[in-house]
Amino acid sequence: MKYLLENLKQYKKESILAPLFKMLEAFFDLFVPIVVADIINIGIGNQDRQYIMQRCGILVLLALIGITCSFTAQFFAARASVGCAAGLRHMLFSHIQTLGYSEIDTMGTSTLITRMTSDINQVQNGVNMFLRLFLRSPFIVLGAMIMAFTINAKIALVFLIAIPVLSVIIFGIMRITSPLYKMVQGRLDCVLGITRENLTGVRVVRAFGKERAEVERFEAANGRLNDMQLHVGHISGLMNPLTYVVVNLGIIAILNMGASHIHNGILLSGDVIALVNYMSQILVELVKLANTVVLLSKALASLNRVKGVLETEPSMKFIRKEGISSAGEGNAGEAVAFEHVSLTYAGAGEESLTDISFCAQRGQTIGVIGGTGSGKSSLVSLIPRFYDATKGQVRIMGKPIREWDREELRTTVGVVMQKAQLFAGTIRSNLLWGNQDADDEQLWKALELAQAAEFVRSKPLGLDEPVEQGGRNFSGGQKQRLTIARALVRQPKILILDDSASALDFATDAALRKALGTLPEDITVFIVSQRASSLKHADQILVLDDGETADKGTHEELLKRCDVYREIYESQFKKGEAY
């Protein structure tokens, strides 16, 4: 709730004026039954048409004032709710940016998307309805009861009985449904996760003919969501009929007692009509309140889910250094060092990396090779500190990685991910992610090194060629070369290529490796690849097998003594072929 109030503080005026105008509208609504009673008792009773017309004019005036107050309240309520939701969404997005890969992996992408969209929309609707109706409805109920007592205290006792019974029904159902709505949102996460998985992996699904199986999996998840929504709906659906029963019983009691009072000359017929109107007003407002409570139950459940993300503390803490450079400190010749490093992912039962030790000197090219699932990407993800080692220590430039400032570390280490990722915009805007201050000369130099300059020049707009979301208008190889160029624009001291040339043909791959050889001598390059040919000329090759170091050395050394490396090499080249 504190996060909601924090964002509503910016809309104090709107948050006060919205319910104020709603209560003003309700205040005028309470006079309508009294005016109607006067029309019946005096106007119709005395056949005074002029009096009737005057009172009808008052009714029209009350209606105009009410609708003006209603529109004004709606304006302020919408302004406050939309602004609050926008602030909450910005807060959530900013907090997600501070979370480490471990927290994001644990929560799941689909859950985070649901909480930022569906959940915050529910909160927005809840705030809107709260400002408009949550104060108006109790005011009408209380006001109608007071007005009933001014007409006849004995008959008004019916209101004293009906209102508590209605309150028990409404808040009892709210207490039952509130946790169930949280379960509904959780099952919605599951449906969204399956949908997202199928859309991103549609080619794999079709390649293996798994369309039917995926449809069945979706239907099962959607069925569970549907069942839960029906269950909650059935409970919530009890609210309206139960409240109608109580209110209509109250109206019957008023008519029964009112008939007796009219017969005895204690009340006029118009007074009984006014009492019935007040009971009807209570019915309408309590139905509104019931629906508002249902909506607020959903909003509170969604707010708790958003709160869960906002209160998730990032496990990875970075120190902040103002005006102090960490680059170049420590061992002058050392670029990256792993000392008995192990890594266990959050929620995993076993280690993904076990007791890894090696040292990469500045200017060296380090190759990382191994079978699928051997831990290659896990190893290089520790260098830019996407994850923290669970055991051992990683040093960058001779300094423990935990002592580096985040921005400085990201500037020192450039990473090209295994999956090429481009953003909607232009080629220029994507390259400038590496360095916002880079000029065209630097951009073209990076493109030349990444073997991307030729196809960029062939585009009608060159650097300003549009890039669709995810780089859909480029081939896999083109996307990989553009992401490599983006990393080179940054001019990092450590460059990591995580299997980022897998979509390139052998000729382009060879040209890329040759171009990387022209980089300044103090740049250390890590190349993760499944191709032994891509690593043959590396100064040091790390061979991983099931998360452990099978061996390390040069290409020639590993061919002689490492069975794992020899098996990988011979699977790609004819056995006995000249090395």
Write the pLDDT tens digit of every residue in 453-508.
999 999 899 999 999 988 888 888 889 899 999 999 988 999 998 887 777 778 88
Rounded to an integer, what distance in angstroms lies between the CA atom of residue 198 and that of residue 488?
Answer: 33
pLDDT score recorded for residue 316: 81
Of the two residues 293 and 120, the one the predictor is more confident about is 120
- Residues in the chain, how many? 579
Q: How confident is the model at residue 575 (pLDDT cuts 50, 70, 90)?
A: low
Q: Is the pLDDT of residue 215 over 90?
A: yes
Q: Which residues pair with 342 in a beta bridge?
A: 391
pLDDT score recorded for residue 268: 80
What is the mean predicted confidence (pLDDT) over 516-541?
86
Helices (runs of H) and strands (runs of E) counted in the chain: 22, 12
Q: Residue 205, Cβ neighbours under 10 Å: how many?
A: 17
The answer to whether the CB of 118 falls within 8 A of the CB of 7 is: no
Residue showing tokens 């019983």: 249
Q: Is the pLDDT of residue 72 over 50?
A: yes
| Residue 287, helix vs strand vs coil | helix
The answer to whether the CB of 369 falls within 8 A of the CB of 544 is: yes
Q: Is the pLDDT of residue 102 over 60?
A: yes
Rounded to an integer, what distance in angstroms lies between the CA atom of residue 381 and that of residue 379?
Answer: 5
pLDDT-above-90 percentage for the chain: 25
pLDDT score recorded for residue 574: 65
Q: Which long-range contacts (CB under 8 A, 24 or more apart) does 323-330 make?
A: 325/408, 326/397, 326/399, 326/403, 326/404, 326/405, 326/408, 326/409, 326/412, 327/397, 327/408, 327/412, 327/493, 328/397, 329/397, 329/398, 329/399, 330/395, 330/397, 330/398, 330/399
Q: Is the pLDDT of residue 325 over 60?
A: no
What is the mean predicted confidence (pLDDT) over 424-429?
92
Q: Is the pLDDT of residue 323 over 80?
A: no
The answer to whether the CB of 361 falls within 8 A of the CB of 333 is: yes
pLDDT score recorded for residue 332: 58
Q: Is the pLDDT of residue 349 over 80?
A: no
DSSP string over 102-115? HHHHHH-HHHHHHI
Q: How far is CA 569 from CA 8, 380, 440, in A?
A: 63, 22, 41
pLDDT score recorded for residue 152: 84
Rounded to an integer, what distance in angstroms lies between the CA atom of residue 251 and that of residue 51?
Answer: 28
What is the mean predicted confidence (pLDDT) over 422-426?
91
pLDDT score recorded for residue 420: 85
Of the two residues 173 and 358, the one the predictor is more confident about is 358
pTM exceeds cut of 0.85: no
Rounded to an integer, what distance in angstroms lies between the CA atom of residue 93 and that of residue 82?
Answer: 16
Average pLDDT across the chain, whole number: 86
Rounded to an integer, what distance in angstroms lies between the CA atom of residue 105 and that of residue 199?
Answer: 19
pLDDT-above-70 percentage for the chain: 97
Paired tokens of 32: 């309508």
Q: Is the pLDDT of residue 331 over 80?
A: no
pLDDT score recorded for residue 162: 84
Q: Compute the chain's Rg from CA coordinates.
A: 35
Give per-residue pLDDT as tens, 117-171.
Answer: 888 999 999 999 888 887 888 888 888 888 888 888 888 888 888 888 887 887 7
Q: Is the pLDDT of residue 285 over 60?
A: yes
